[in-house]
């Protein structure tokens, strides 16, 4: 890549694909899981969806299942501002970066 071309859709190079979103799903370790309530139902949060924002920061939402059982609805919850959850998000993003960097192309 020679750096030529600067008129891409977002002011970038024409030869660089514009990536509109990067997101990963992360299993929350049992010791870090929590419950939250939405619409009168209690949920046990087991998964994080972590997105890389255009400014380089990370955003995370939590998902889980109703504690009463059943499938429930796919509802997002805010992630509590706890050091161990911030560390999980950061570590997961780092691991995802390693995996992406080592990709072997289309199968």
Looking at the whole model, is its pTM more than 0.75?
A: yes
Neighbouring C-beta atoms of residue 12, cutoff 10 Å: 13
Task: Write out the E strands in the chain.
Answer: 22-27, 34-38, 41-52, 58-66, 77-78
Mode of pairing for the β-strands spanning 41-52 and 34-38: antiparallel
**Cα–Cα distance between 36 and 45 in angstroms, integer?**
7
> In total, how many domains does the chain have?
1
In a domain, 16, yes or no: no
Digits of tens for pLDDT over the chain (107 positions)?
A: 334 444 445 556 788 998 888 999 999 999 999 999 998 999 999 999 999 999 999 999 999 999 998 877 778 999 999 999 999 999 999 999 999 999 999 98
Residue 67 is given by DSSP the state T
In a domain, 29, yes or no: yes
In a domain, 5, yes or no: no
Domain that holds residue 93: 22-101
**Cα–Cα distance between 60 and 89 in angstroms, integer?**
8
The answer to whether the beta carbons of residues 35 and 43 sit under 8 Å apart is yes
In a domain, 7, yes or no: no
**Cα–Cα distance between 2 and 17 in angstroms, integer?**
15
In a domain, 107, yes or no: no
In a domain, 36, yes or no: yes
In a domain, 14, yes or no: no
Mode of pairing for the β-strands spanning 22-27 and 77-78: unpaired
In a domain, 6, yes or no: no
């Amino acid at each position: 890549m020679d750096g030529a071309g600067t008129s891409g859709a977002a002011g970038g190079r024409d030869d660089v694909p514009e990536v509109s979103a990067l997101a990963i799903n992360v299993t929350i370790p049992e010791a870090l899981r929590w419950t939250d309530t939405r619409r009168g139902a209690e949920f046990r949060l087991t998964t994080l969806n972590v997105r890389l924002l255009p400014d380089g920061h990370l955003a995370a939402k939590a998902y889980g299942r109703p504690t009463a059982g059943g499938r429930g609805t796919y509802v997002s919850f805010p992630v509590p501002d706890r050091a161990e959850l911030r560390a999980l998000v950061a570590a997961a993003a780092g691991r995802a970066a390693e995996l992406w960097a080592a990709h072997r192309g289309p199968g």
